[in-house]
Every structure is written in structure tokens, then in C-alpha cells.
Amino acid sequence: MIRSLLVVALLALTGCAALPDRSRAPQAFAAARDNPVALRAFLERFPKGSDLHNHLSGAIYAESYIRWAAEDGLCVTPDLALAAPPCTAPRRPAADALGDQALYDRLVRAFSLREFVPTADAPSGHAQFFATFARFAAAAGPARTPDMLAELVDRNARQSVLYLEPMILLGAFEAIGRAAAVAPSDDLAVLDGRIRAAGVYDLVPAQLAELDRAEAGMRARLGCGGAAPRPGCAVATRYILQVLRNAPAPAVFAQIALSMALIKADPRIVAVNLVAPEDALIARRDYTLHMQMLAYLGARFDRPPVTLHAGELTPELAPPDDLRFHIRQAIEIAGARRIGHGVALAHEDDMAGLLRLMAERRVLVEINLTSNDVILGVKGANHPFRTYRAAGVPVALSTDDEGVARSDLTNEYQRAVQEQAVDYAGLKQLARNALEYSFLPGDSLWQSSAFDDFAAACRGERPGAVPAGPACRDFLAASAKAREQWRHEGLMTAFEASF
Ligand SMILES: [Zn+2]
């Protein structure tokens, strides 16, 4: 107690810059790093800022989908997919699983990578992973989005995460539907006119109302504003819209267009991302066309933030020519500010030049260590994590699909320590990157991405506290990003003072 009072007193006297030297957190980390049990406990409490690459439906654990399917009267097909009623034989009510442990276990395995062993139908983690989504989709519809968001933010709040930008589907299927009869055109201006005529942009108000319902439902489930709010109420959320890229060109274009119109219409929606297997036929064949669509529509919509799954490939999954350019085109053509995965780095043309480009433009790589292990079979020294860091490319840790992969963000930090030799200073940098390179609007709290001093308005202020000076108060009031960074530094200060 006396020591923590001393730390607080020192903090008040010296500001933030002096704290890391005086904290015993690095020593506590050093003592824990070779003990996985102690390390897990240390890292669970360690403030992590954000999880920048998180697909909402993939973040949900199979056990939740089974419970919701039972509540909603859904059925289980013989090949272990959820389906709408009636549950006529050979289908069974999903509720049966709650009284049948064997069926329950089979469903958990069908909806995730738990205890995965290759079979003829699912010969790899890649095949199993992408097959899960269709199996649980019936329980992951819009009516359950509030439950999914509540599970996500609560789990992350318990791991000292304070901001999330989950990837969600909002209007994607509706846009695909309206584009179904649209004829393709190589002229993107012509295509834009056709999808407008088909009513794609008219979808905006209904989709924003859908997001209103989802957020209100989440808050209700968490009891936010009530007497006993759950921890997730403290997690701020914005959203990245997913575009299903393995679709006909007009349908991909329509989804990107709707997504960018939604970003422009509502500050809760911050970016767009192309999803679904990058090695699939259409994703490979139309890759450059998709980048051109993002460039064209980006120019039309004032260049909204774009992050892209790029280089989530291995030589086994795609031919050599497809491995040579995805990351570079995502940045140079589509203007991506972040790259998801980037695993195929070494196969890109002029890797050294690409790394220089990413370092200069501050393009962050969303690193998904567990996902890359279980889906791509890439881990440890084979992962480019250390190469990116050595080249000065910003990186952050993320889960990709924590429910399907049976992971969480703490586990990703643990892997970074155990498999990638990240030290304590590195952990702090990863967490700060997750907010610095988030798509939150506003100026950074930091003077530079070296994170060595606050912006002038807040220099010398005590992190996380109500600022003493009006300049810092005004600065935080004007910047959503700086506010979350301020909260994070407060959590970090408290964490470090606890040792
Ligand atoms: Zn992903």
C-alpha cells in the first residue's frame, strides 16, 4: 500500500515519462515469461488497447451458438449444420444437444477447430475453418447480433481491452441481391450507375436502423446504464464492414459502394474490408479488379479507411504468381491503411522494397498468430512477424476468429512472447499500436508513433486522470482516438503501479 501510494506520488510529480523506469512490471514480466501459467495471468491483466482484426461471427464460441439455436427452435441437419424449422427427420431439434452430450460435442467440433483432425471432407485446418461459418450461420443472423456483440465486448473487457472495431456484415446480402441482375462492365463509372439504378444506395437508411437495433440490444443485454452494468459496457465500439469477395463483380462492387456510403453516413462505421478465402477462384482471378473498385469508389467517397486481407496465402494454397502482388496492390492500388495477415510477405516481388513502402506509409499489419497456425500452418520462425518489426513496419496483435479458433487476445499476446520473443517494451508497443492505428477519428495522443511523449497539449499530464490543464481537456474532447489512448494509458499506469 505504501509503495503504491509512493508510485502515485511520484507519478504526480514526474508525469508519465518517468513511470516505466520506476515500475516493477518489467521484472514481474521477466519472472513470468518462462512460466506459461504465470504468463497467462500477467498478460490477461496487461492493457491491450484493441483487437483490430476481429470478425464478429467468428468471435463467438460454439457453445453460444448451440444455446441460441436451442432457444430459437432451430434444427440440426445430419451433416451438423443449423437450419430453420421444421425439424423433421432426419433433422433433429438443436435443443436435443442440451440433453445429449455426444451431439453437443459433435456440434462444438463442427462449429470450431476444437480437437480438429483431418478427414476426407475437411482435409486441413483451412478447410475446416471456412466450413464452420455456413454451419452456424442460422444462429448468427441479425436477431442475434446484440448477443454476439455483448459476448465479444464482455470477453474483451475482462482482458483490459477498451476499444473494438469488429468486422460485421451490414447490408452485404441485400447489396448482392440488388446487384444480381446488374450486367458487368469494365467501366466502373458505368457499373456505379447501374448499381445506383438497382437501388443499392437506397439501402443505407434501413442498414443504419439495423445497427441502431444491434447496439441498443447489446447495451440492454449488458445492463449498461443500469445498477449492475457488465464489464463490456466500458468497451467502445466502431465497425468495419465486410465485403464478401467471392461473388460476381457487380455484387462485389455493390457491397463496396454500399459500405462506403454507410461509412460516409455514420461515424460508427469506420472502414471496409474484403473477406472470404483469398485463395478461392474469384478472389484470385478478380484480385486486381477488386483493388481497382476500392480505388474508384474510394475516390468517390473521400477516401474512407480501407483494411484488407492480403497475403493470407501459402504456396500450398495458391500458385506462385498469385503470391507475388496481393499485399503491394492492396496498398498501392486500393490505398489500404492496414493489412490483415500479410503472411506471404516473402513471396511478394521486391520484399525489401515493399517493407520500405509499408514502413514509410505507416501501414500496420494485423498479426493473427493462432489463425495463421491453424488455418495456414505458419508459425514460429516461419511467420513474418519479426521481419515486419525489424523493418520498422507497425504491427498489432489480433485474434481474427477467436471463437472458431478457440483463442482470445491474451492468448495471442502469450504466443507473441513464447513464439516470437516479444519483450516487455514490445508488448507495450503492440498495445499502443492497436489504438494508434485504429480507425478512430481525431489526432493521436502521441507526439509521434515512437510513443515517447504526449502531444504538446497533454505533456506532463497524469495519464488517465482528468487533465489539470484546459488545453489537454480540449484536446481530448476533440479527438475520439486520443480519448481512448488516454484511457489506455490510465489503465497501463494502474497496471504498472500494481507491481
Ligand atoms: Zn480475417
Centre of ligand 1 to C-alpha 275, Å, is 7
Centre of ligand 1 to C-alpha 119, Å, is 24
* pLDDT on residue 23: 87
What's the chain's length in residues? 499
CB 66, CB 94: distance < 8 Å: yes
The span from the CA of 178 to the CA of 253, in Å, is 11
pLDDT in tens, 453-488: 999 999 999 999 999 999 999 999 999 999 999 999
Residue 15 has pLDDT above 70, yes or no: no
Centre of ligand 1 to C-alpha 130, Å, is 11
Centre of ligand 1 to C-alpha 368, Å, is 8
Cα 13 to Cα 18, 21, 451, 462: the distances in Å are 10, 14, 20, 9
Q: Which domains does the chain have, with CATH numbers?
A: 61-124 (no CATH), 142-436 (3.20.20.140)
Mean pLDDT calculated for residue range 34-44: 98
Q: Concatenated DSSP letters for 337-394?
A: SEEEE-GGGGGSTTHHHHHHHHHHHTPEEEE-HHHIIIII---GGGSTHHHHHHTT--
Where do we find the cell 507473441?
A: 416
CB 65, CB 140: distance < 8 Å: yes
Centre of ligand 1 to C-alpha 357, Å, is 23
pLDDT in tens, 159-206: 999 999 999 999 999 999 999 999 999 999 999 999 999 999 999 999
Say whether pTM exceeds 0.85: yes
Centre of ligand 1 to C-alpha 157, Å, is 21
Centre of ligand 1 to C-alpha 341, Å, is 8
* pLDDT on residue 5: 43
Centre of ligand 1 to C-alpha 167, Å, is 9
Centre of ligand 1 to C-alpha 319, Å, is 21
C-alpha cell at 85: 424449422
Mean pLDDT calculated for residue range 28-57: 98
Centre of ligand 1 to C-alpha 99, Å, is 34
Centre of ligand 1 to C-alpha 242, Å, is 10
Nearest to 152 by CA among 141, 137, 130, 168: 168
Centre of ligand 1 to C-alpha 371, Å, is 8
Tell me the three state secondary structure of residue 475: helix
